[in-house]
Structure 1
């Protein structure tokens, strides 16, 4: 996967960075912890511009997150509450949990969206509740761009600065991304098993 991503970044350039970041936010096949340092490394070798790499990363993240936000916004919080009432016990998601999350997000929406962009595992996930509660679009998109800019910019700069020592990023980025995915799926599976035993 790493070799494929690296090849795409080099051969497709900024379009490759953009598309990989869109994909990362739609159905994370490759984490941004891999994509952006690879792009920064390519910039250090003179194949791309660092500023353009960061802009492509931000643009791709915005588009990927816009999809989930707009779908959730169209779906609406009330429909989600009804689904939670009907099926929530299977995944540990109750109406009360949703309401608490909504209250917290309404209170801290801008900060939550911004900080979530820098946290593995919930970077894309925050877009769904933000859309469900109809967080204002300027707030969502503005703070998504800010948080994503800090995150992707930092990762691209790390790849740029390390250059020939790029393997230092590769050594930890892949296992961390895979480990987080395994952890999330394990928690979901455990909750489903407990709900079935209780039911």
Structure 2
């Protein structure tokens, strides 16, 4: 476990703010990548004086926002057609998409608020 922590801290140390930006960008896209993985090492490095905490937070927020906008762009460009085309590779059928759409019509606003 310590090796993983050291690896992540070294990424933040070696790539600096760019590494934080990339990790936070990934966190907001399709990849399951928790934001804590990027921001905790940034806080640690800031406490050691190797980073500016305010700028690390700014860069992390910008990366997260741009990752979310990237997702929005993909959804806007490919939409339902893209989900059906590429969803088959992830066992996501049209029937499942219809169920998701129906659920979102009923609970979309609340679901989005709670899960984001």
The normalised TM-score by structure 1 is 0.45
Aligned partner of 2:60 among 57, 60, 85: 57
* 1:48 matched to 2:23: no
Once the two structures are superposed, the pairs formed by residues 99-178 of structure 1 within 5 Å of their partners are 99-105=102-108, 108=109, 112-113=112-113, 115-117=114-116
* Aligned CA distance change for structure 1 residues 94 and 13 (closer, same or farther; 3 Å): closer
Shift of 1:62: 1.3
Q: Which residue of structure 2 lines up, in the alignment, with residue 4 of structure 1?
A: 7
- Stretches of structure 1 that go unaligned for 5 or more consecutive residues are 118-199
Do the aligned partners of residues 68 and 10 (structure 1) sit closer, same or farther apart at CA in structure 2, a change above 3 Å counting? same
Deviation of 1:52 (Å): 0.8
1:37 to 22, 40, 47: 40
What displacement does 1:66 show?
1.6
User: 2:24·2:67 contact (CA, 8 Å) conserved in 1?
Assistant: yes
In the alignment, does 2:109 pair up with 1:98?
no
Q: CA RMSD in A?
A: 2.9
Q: Answer 1 or 2: higher relative contact order, Cα 8 Å, separation at least 6.
A: 1
Question: 1:47 is paired with a residue of what secondary structure?
Answer: coil
Distance 2:100 2:34 in 1: 28
Deviation at 1:8, TM superposition (A): 1.6
Match of 2:93 in 1: 87
Superposition misfits of 4+ residues, deviation over 4 angstroms: 80-84
- Alignment partners' CA distance in 2, 1:57 and 1:100: 32
Q: Shift of residue 72 of structure 1? A: 1.0
